[in-house]
Amino acid sequence: MSKHTSILNRRRCWSSEINARMNFNRCSSWGCQGGRTDQHRALITEELKEPVENDAIAFCPDMWTDPIRQISYLGITTTFINNQYEYRSYDLCCAPFEEENKSAENIITALQKELKTFSIIDLSMLKFVSDRG
């Protein structure tokens, strides 16, 4: 496989690598089926515990608006180095941001709601990185 083919098929290749590592069979490109989403979320939740407890993780929220549908979204990516010194990065969510006002209070509420899915309750000690956008 050429370098260019590898880049073009990155999504498929990365999915295959994740599936092999996590012992999943096959995920569709639009999400996992048959309870695999919950399995994958549970594995990520477990992997996030240690870096969150040791203050060794960063969260990067991103907000944007779909200009055609006029819907705002909140995405959250997290990055850290695990205890085997391997770089990890996960896109934790891409969820509609339903508040009209993008105030700090509303953003924090949305972050709390989405991170609660990964058993992260207290945001006060977390590190957030933003592009000020």
**One domain, residues 77 and 120:** yes
Average pLDDT over residues 95-115: 93
Token duo for residue 7? 């880049």
Q: Is the pLDDT of residue 96 over 50?
A: yes
**One domain, residues 53 and 93:** yes
**One domain, residues 11 and 44:** no
**One domain, residues 74 and 89:** yes
| Structural domain boundaries enclosing 6 | 1-33
Q: How far apart are CA 61 and CA 57, in angstroms?
A: 13
**One domain, residues 81 and 29:** no
Please tell me the predicted confidence (pLDDT) of residue 34.
56
Segment 6-25, tens digit of pLDDT = 444 444 444 445 455 554 44
**One domain, residues 122 and 72:** yes
**One domain, residues 26 and 43:** no
Q: Any idea what DSSP says for residue 130?
A: -
Instruction: Please give the helix or strand (H or E) that residue 10 lies within, else none.
Output: helix 10-22
pTM, two decimals, is: 0.71
| CA-wise closest residue to 95 among 125, 117, 121 | 117
Please count the structural domains in the chain.
2
